[in-house]
Amino acid sequence: MAFFNLIHTDPQSAARAGVVHTDHGDILTPIFMPVGTVGTVKGVHKRDLIDDIHAQIILGNTYHLYLRPGTNILHQAGGLHRFEGWTKPILTDSGGYQVFSLTQIRKMIEEGVRFSSHIDGRKLLFTPESVMDIERQIGADIMMAFDECCPGTADRTYATESMNRTHRWLDRCIARFDSTDDVYDYHQHLFPIVQGCVYPDLRQEAAKRLRDLDRDGYAIGGLAVGEPAEKMYEMIEVVNDILPENKPRYLMGVGTPWNILEGIERGVDMFDCVMPTRNGRNGMIFTRNGVMNMRNKKWESDFTPLDPEGTSYVDAQYTRAYVRHLIHSDEMLGLEILSIHNLAFYLWLVGEARQHILMGDFRSWKEDTLRRVMTRL
């Protein structure tokens, strides 16, 4: 069976509906993947992720899991799936973004990146080979190659150097991945990452080079890191015009509901972002009718359901006034309620997008939905 089946492409855009097949189950695309950085989606039980939010795949992060609990514990547990009690697919980021965000405590060399642990100050080295070994031990179904995440404001000279370094590291990642076996009783897949900052010719060069490698899927990295949204959308179009149609495309770290809709329209299949949980913990929720800040006084005596059109049990069970009270009281339950709501909304959004792609009216549905979800309530 092929790793990815493209089911239908929207006749008026590049939006696609497909299926990714893994040994832990199928993933219907387009899909949003909740971020479980350290082996947990913050404040959300696995039961809620499966039964209420309807998550099909979640993320783990190589950098954080390497530091805690460490690969020895994960291997003893039988991999991250068994360690955290998750039976569906998992994708791991390589940790490159986290390492490169440690600008004051890391040093980049051709071998890899030397950095200090943000936990205890230990001096550590990530190389393409060591990251592949760590991701093998973690045991995610989909592994990311180790790359340099170039800032969106980088000049052309640095962006070129960064892309070329990413490609040299990718060759080493592939050599290590292809020469090692799956650690557990299921198959793992490696995605290369297209970099190139905001320069169309660099993105084209990277996309062509990675396309010719013929891997199972491809990620688009280095976006939503400071560049204007219009530039991000342009780079997605440039890259997706080159990447093969029969492989899944993953836009890393993006984003708002409107970013996701724009990405789907341009042919992206997979998304992840901390926004639904992080914004939820800060009192902000997304709904099909707009964005709500639950800290605002306007909700103080609003005893209507949190979101009458929401798909989660929290939307009907709790009132806006009660949730506002929890947020202002710094009660943990308030953060959990809003995180669950936002994740359920994101999964609803990509599920609806998929249905409208299959029905052939994605473009008109997207324009109407975009107008509503961007409203400030």
Whether residue 356 lies inside any domain: the answer is: yes
330 is catalytic: no
Whether residue 233 lies inside any domain: the answer is: yes
Residue 225 has what pLDDT? 84
pLDDT, the chain, mean: 96
Closest listed residue to residue 150, CA positions, set 195, 215, 91:
195
Q: Give the type of residue at 66.
A: Y
Whether residue 89 lies inside any domain: the answer is: yes
Q: 226 with 292, same domain? A: no
Q: Which domain holds residue 289?
A: 283-377
Residue 98 has what pLDDT? 82
Last residue of a domain, one of 245, 273, 302: 245
Catalytic residue, candidates 10, 147, 269, 272: 272
**How sure is the predictor about 103, in pLDDT bands with cuts at 50, 70 and 90?**
low
Q: 336 with 189, same domain? A: no
Residue 95 has what pLDDT? 84
> Is the C-alpha dihedral spanning 245, 248, 252, 257 positive or negative?
positive
Last residue of a domain, one of 219, 245, 271: 245
Whether residue 181 lies inside any domain: the answer is: yes
Instruction: For residue range 290-324, list pLDDT tens digits in order.
Output: 999 999 999 999 999 999 999 999 999 999 999 99
Catalytic residue, candidates 93, 141, 147, 307: 93
Q: 225 with 115, same domain? A: yes
* Claim: this prediction has a pTM higher than 0.95: yes
Q: 114 with 193, same domain? A: yes
Q: How many domains does the chain have?
A: 2
Instruction: For residue range 239-293, list pLDDT tens digits in order.
Output: 999 999 999 999 999 999 999 999 999 999 999 999 999 999 999 999 999 999 9
Q: 235 with 150, same domain? A: yes
93's CB contacts (< 8 A; 6+ apart) are 59, 60, 61, 62, 63, 144, 252
Instruction: For residue range 327-352, list pLDDT tens digits in order.
Output: 999 999 999 999 999 999 999 999 99
Q: 71 with 181, same domain? A: yes
Residue 364 has what pLDDT? 97
Q: Is the pLDDT of residue 369 over 80?
A: yes
CATH number at residue 198: 3.20.20.105
Last residue of a domain, one of 245, 261, 296: 245
Whether residue 311 lies inside any domain: the answer is: yes
**How sure is the predictor about 107, in pLDDT bands with cuts at 50, 70 and 90?**
confident
Q: Is the pLDDT of residue 116 over 70?
A: yes
Whether residue 267 lies inside any domain: the answer is: no
272 is catalytic: yes
